[in-house]
Amino acid sequence: MTQAAKRASYQAIKTDVLQRIRDNVWPPGTLLPGEIELAEEFQCARATVNRAMRELAEEGVIDRKRKSGTRVKIAPTRQAKFTIPLIRLEIENAGKNYRYALVHRQKQAAPRWLCGRLALPSTAQVLHLQCIHYADESPFQYEARWINLSAVPKAESESFEKIGPNEWLINHVPFTEAELTFSAKSATKEIAAMMSLPEGASLLTAERTTWLSDAPVTYAQLYFHQSYKMTTRI
Amino acid sequence: MTQAAKRASYQAIKTDVLQRIRDNVWPPGTLLPGEIELAEEFQCARATVNRAMRELAEEGVIDRKRKSGTRVKIAPTRQAKFTIPLIRLEIENAGKNYRYALVHRQKQAAPRWLCGRLALPSTAQVLHLQCIHYADESPFQYEARWINLSAVPKAESESFEKIGPNEWLINHVPFTEAELTFSAKSATKEIAAMMSLPEGASLLTAERTTWLSDAPVTYAQLYFHQSYKMTTRI
DNA sequence: CCATATCTTTTGTCTGGATTTAATTTCTAT
DNA sequence: ATAGAAATTAAATCCAGACAAAAGATATGG
């Protein structure tokens, strides 16, 4: 038996339990002892065990169900967390100089594909923007964005000459929900030219749709420079 | 003043506080009331407020520091969470038929670039594997993998004809840490042929390095089919 | 035999207190 | 003034006990 620490913090319990799972003391599928039992073993309150186990469940190590109890996950689906910083901060934190350039700005009727994606009426007006974010004068990200003007009317009076739409929106419009999709796309001739890349280059692409309590706010396509990598530790 | 619910759960407090931040009642940078004060307002115990605020801090909405108090984050760095399931489960959950094929298997001396990446001695032996995961008979993912045999000696006696290295490793070798990198790569002629794609097609690529308490276990390159998208809601 | 109601178990949440810890401010001796 | 010590403050953790809620188990009536 692993002799429990005299004063077990919830952290200590977490590491101890994790250790037992790793050491196959509790192989996948095992039904763990209940909280009361564990609290006795670790000489602590049930609430402390509860916190430890709750966090392990959040991290995807165990499954918990009322009445049934707690089991070690069969397929431990660890999850990767990516922090999505402002592009400007990401460039500046890399010690590079950030520059922003607006390429195109036009108020227009929402194209049909956008109406479908955002559930907009076919009469909706949107502000379409294209811009480039530079790191040390080399193109880092190309951004194509559509802003729903009925949700964000004040966007119409913003020129977006000095501040990028992403940063402007974050500062002026809160959101309740967002969908983020990553994929790889080939650079079209147009995008390749703007980013000083050969046509057909592979670009990591993020598509982002944002809502403010059911009202669609904006849709954006973000094309990262070829060299861009998104990294995380889990 | 937002009149607090009579019996506020930590969830209710979270949504209420979030609402105030969204409504600019507490703009970015604001110093929020202390836990005791909030507990009075919400008519609950301080621990309940603490849990609400702790979770908001974890989610990146606020910053907390002892003595200084709690502030609304200036640049709210929301973070995206991607669950990385087993490729087999991902395909099966999509209602498709999963098939696995081993293309190549060879024990070899670790190439220099791999020694650098995994901090291996130049004499290290690795098992190099290449395989393809099919969804309904069309190539879904190409996997190139190197397993450190000094960390996982029993991999040498596994043929990997029936089970993919990813799944085998998950079932046989725990890990403490992993680094995951996403980028877009162009399909080489070799990869294009194996995945029935035109040469130069853009592929979402994941690179994964895994350690078991400082000992490097494996490095893998996972090339997803062109159509693959990685999506999450935040 | 089946559907429904009741019991029981286990986790989930809350309370109202306490102690610990980190960081800031204030004080003190050089 | 200034470096270090002490006081202060707010969050972080913990506790012992309580009740709520979900879900499995069991009993009951048709």
Whether residue B231 and residue A205 make contact (CB cut-off 8 A), yes or no, is no
Contact A53, A63 (CB under 8 A): no
Specify the number of domains making up chain A.
2
Confidence of residue A85 (pLDDT cuts 50, 70, 90): confident
Q: In CATH, what number is assigned to the domain containing residue A132?
A: 3.40.1410.10
Confidence of residue A23 (pLDDT cuts 50, 70, 90): confident
Domain that holds residue A19: 10-72
Residue A224 CA: distances (Å) to CA of A19, A109, A131, B9, B81: 40, 27, 12, 42, 20
Q: Which residue has the tokens 């564990």?
A: A38
3-state SS class at A216: strand
| Same domain? A174 vs A111 | yes
> Would you give the DSSP letter of residue A31?
B
Residue B107 CA: distances (Å) to CA of B59, B104, B146, B165: 44, 10, 9, 14
B residues 168-197 closer than 8 Å to A (CB): 170, 174, 176-186
Q: In CATH, what number is assigned to the domain containing residue B17?
A: 1.10.10.10
- As to burial, measured by CB atoms within 10 angstroms (0-12 exposed, 13-18 middle, 19+ buried), residue A122 is exposed
**CA–CA gap between residue B225 and residue B123 (Å, rounded):** 35
Model pLDDT for residues B193-231, shown as the tens digit of each residue:
999 999 989 999 999 999 987 889 999 999 999 889 998
Q: What percent of chain B has pLDDT over 90?
A: 69
Residue A2 has pLDDT above 70, yes or no: no
> How many C-beta neighbours within 10 Å does residue A4 have?
16
| Same domain? A165 vs A60 | no
Residue B98 has pLDDT above 90, yes or no: yes
B residues 60-79 closer than 8 Å to A (CB): 60, 75-79
Question: How many Cβ pairs within 8 Å bridge chains A and B?
Answer: 131
**CA–CA gap between residue A111 and residue A145 (Å, rounded):** 12
**CA–CA gap between residue A227 and residue B27 (Å, rounded):** 36
**CA–CA gap between residue A214 and residue A217 (Å, rounded):** 9
Alpha-carbon gap: B141 to the closest alpha carbon of chain A (Å): 14
Q: What's the token pair of residue A171? A: 């500062």
What's the average model confidence in pLDDT over B84-112?
90
Segment holding A94, helix H or strand E: none
Per-residue pLDDT at A226:
87
Instruction: Tell me which amino acid residue B151 is.
Output: A
Per-residue pLDDT at A5:
38
Alpha-carbon gap: B184 to the closest alpha carbon of chain A (Å): 5
| Same domain? B112 vs B180 | yes
- Measure CB to CB from residue B182 to each of A170, A202, A204 and give the nearest one: A204
In the structure, how far is the CA atom of residue A66 from the C1' atom of nucleotide C2, in angstroms?
Answer: 26
What's the average model confidence in pLDDT over A160-179?
87
- Measure CB to CB from residue A75 to each of B76, B86, B234 and give the nearest one: B86
Q: Domain boundary residue among B72, B95, B115?
A: B72
Q: Is A82 contained in some domain?
A: no
